[in-house]
Structure 1
C-alpha cells in the first residue's frame, strides 16, 4: 500500500494518530520537502517518529516518482507532506501514477492553510479562488494571479494568497550549465507580496482595488506558538518592515466586500491602524457588531 500522509502545519506533534501508525510500520518513509516546510527540521521528526526519513526533493517527487512507488504493491511505503496531501497538485499527480501502475493507495488527511486561514477571523465560506504569488525577477514578472484576485473581488469574496518559497532552486546559469548547485532557501514575506501586488495594480488598474481601499490580512507561522496575524489596508501593511510580520512561513488574504460584522470585529483585533474599520465602513458599508 502506498500512503500519502499529511503532517499538518507546525511541528512533529501535528501528525494524526493514524498517520503516526503508518510512519512507524511502513517499510520506507519519504519526507517531501519542497512544496512547503514544517517549523522543525528533519532530525526532530526522526527523533519523534523513531525512524529514518528519506528526503524527497523536487527532482525525486516530480521526475522520479517511480522510485518512491517501487515496492508499494507488496509492502507499505509512505510519503509525508506538510499540511494536507491535496494542498499541492504534485501530490495528485503521484497518485495518478500509482493508479496507472495498479498500486493501491490511501490518503491520511491533516490540517492545511486552506482551512487554518480561518484563524484570522474571516469565514471560510466567503473565500473564492486561491492564488499563488511567485517571486519576481528583473526579467520575469508574471501577474496573472491579479486577475484571479479581481474575479474574487467582483463576487465580494476573499482571496487566500499563498506566498512563494524557493527550496533547492538553481540560478539561471547553473540551470543552463546543468550544474547541481542550489541557491539558499528563500521565503516570500508579506512585504514583498504586497509590493508586487501594488506594482501589478499600477500596470493593470482595477476600480475594485487600490492600496488605500483594499483590506488585507497577513498570517505567519499559522498553528505555531509564534503565530502572528496583522490586518489593515494594503497601504498600511506596505508601510511595515519585514520583521513586523514575524518569521516564515507566510500567507495572506485579500479581503472581499462580502464582509460580516463578526469578521470586522474578529480580524479587527489584529489591525495595525485605523484603516481596517475605516475601509470596511466607508467602502464596504459594514461595521462591527460593536457599532464601530
Structure 2
C-alpha cells in the first residue's frame, strides 16, 4: 500500500489527525520537498512529532527511481508532501505508476495554498483560472532565458475574466523566489511583449500562509515589487475584474488602494 499524505502549509502540526495516525502505522515514511516546502519546521521536528524516521527523496528518486516504490508492494509505505497530497502533477504521475505496478494507493488530504489564498485575500475561489509558475531565469550560451509561459497564462485568464494564482520557483541552488523577484520578471515580460496585459495591473502577494504571521498585501504591480513581505514562502495573485465584495476585501484585508472600489 502506498498512501499519499499532505502535510499542509507551514509546519509539522498542519498534518491532519487522520494523516498523523497513518504515518504512525506505516512501515516506511518517505517525503519530498522540491514541489513545496514547510518553512516552519524541520525533518527533526517532524520525526519527533510523528514518532517515525522520515526519509527525504530527491526529484530524481520520485520521478525516475522505482526501487523505493517497489517496497509498497509488500509494505505499508507513506509518501509525505507539502500542501495537499495531489496538487502537483508529479504526484499524480507517481500514483499512476504505482497502480501500473499493482500497488494499492490511498490519499489523505490537507490544507493547500490553492484554497488558502482565497481566505487570506478575499478573492472568490471559483473565479480562479489556470495557475502558473514563474521559474528562475537561466543562462544558455551566454543568453539569459526567461520563460514567457506565465505571461501567456495570465493573458488567457484575464481574457476570460479569471484570477491567476502564480506559484514562485523553488530551486536547490537559488533558493526560494520572492515576490519582488517575480514582479520584476513579469514587468520585464510586459516590456518585451508590449501587449498591455500587466499595465496598471493589480496584484496580491501572499507570504507564509498557514503560519501565525501570514502577510497578504495588494497594490498595483509596479508598487508591489518594493513591498517587504518578509520570509518565504511567497505566492502571487493577478486578479481579474473584481466583484464589489472582492474589491472591499482586498482593501480591508490586504491594504489595497481605495480607488479599486470605484
Which of 264, 267, 272 is equivalent to 2:247? 264
1:129: which partner in 2?
A: 130
Structure 2 residue 187 is matched with structure 1 residue 198:
yes
Q: How many Å separate the matches in 1 of 2:214 and 2:226?
A: 21
Q: How many Å separate the matches in 2 of 1:207 and 1:55?
A: 43
Once the two structures are TM-superposed, the CA of residue 269 in structure 1 deviates from its matched residue by: 2.6
Q: How many Å separate the matches in 2 of 1:261 and 1:54?
A: 48
- List structure 1 runs of 4+ shifted beyond 3 angstroms: 270-273
**Could you report, residue by residue, the CA deviation over 1:34-67 in whole angstroms, capped at 9, with x for unpaired residues?**
1111121110000000111111111211111x22
Taking structure 1 as the reference length, the TM-score comes to: 0.84
Once the two structures are TM-superposed, the CA of residue 159 in structure 1 deviates from its matched residue by: 0.3
- Please, which runs of 5 or more residues in structure 2 have no aligned partner? none
Structure 2 residue 139 is matched with structure 1 residue 166:
no
Count how many residue pairs are aligned between Structure 1 and Structure 2.
256
Structure 2 residue 161 is matched with structure 1 residue 156:
yes
- Please, which runs of 5 or more residues in structure 1 have no aligned partner? 168-182, 282-286, 288-292
Q: Which of the pair has more CA radius of gyration?
A: 1
Once the two structures are TM-superposed, the CA of residue 271 in structure 1 deviates from its matched residue by: 4.8
1:29: which partner in 2?
A: 29
- Structure 1 pair 277/155, CA: closer, same or farther in 2 (3 Å)? farther
Taking structure 2 as the reference length, the TM-score comes to: 0.93
For residues 1-292 of structure 1, the aligned pairs below 5 Å read: 1-39=1-39, 40-64=41-65, 66-118=66-118, 119-138=120-139, 139-167=144-172, 183=173, 186-210=175-199, 213-240=200-227, 244-257=228-241, 259-271=242-254, 276-278=257-259, 280-281=260-261, 287=262
* Corresponding residue SS for 1:269: helix
* Corresponding residue SS for 1:45: helix
Once the two structures are TM-superposed, the CA of residue 11 in structure 1 deviates from its matched residue by: 0.9
Across the aligned residues of Structure 1 and Structure 2, the Cα RMSD in angstroms comes to: 1.4
Once the two structures are TM-superposed, the CA of residue 73 in structure 1 deviates from its matched residue by: 2.1
